[in-house]
Amino acid sequence: MSDTRIDPEETRMETGVPVRKACFCVGVFFALMLLFNCVSMYASANLLVYGRAHDFWVSVLRPVERLSRLSGLYHVRQMTQDTLGNKLNGSAGKGEEKQ
């Protein structure tokens, strides 16, 4: 029998993405999603019943909503909502009669 020992460091394969890079990419993703959707999120926050929750969400989302408007990224969501919104949400109103 041979006395060959396998060093775990030599056999370990480098696969996957480093944690730092993955966290950065996830952070960029959520920042972009916030900028795409914050105008609608702010409008929804204004529809909340007045109280602490309403005040909290409006005050938290107001600066990001302004940034979303300044960057113009909310147009992407608005365009998607205008073009595909009725098709995607069309099944929700099937039970209602048209007037």
Q: Report the percent of the chain where pLDDT is more than 90.
A: 53
What is the separation of C-alpha 5 from the centre of its chain, rounded to a whole number of angstroms? Answer: 49
Does 43 fall in a domain? yes
Q: Considering the domain boundaries, does residue 82 fall inside one? A: yes
Contact 45, 58 (CB under 8 A): yes
Residue 92 placed within a domain: no
Domain with 40, as residue range(s), is: 35-86
Contact 73, 41 (CB under 8 A): no
Is residue 91 domain-resident? Answer: no
Q: Is residue 21 part of a domain?
A: no
Query: Based on the structure, what is the number of domains in the chain?
Result: 1
pLDDT band at 86 (very low <50, low <70, confident <90, very high): confident
| pTM score, whole prediction | 0.63
Q: Each residue of 4-34: pLDDT tens digit? A: 777 666 666 678 889 999 999 999 999 999 9
Number of other CB atoms surrounding residue 73 within 10 Å: 19
Tell me, yes or no, whether 5 lies in a domain: no
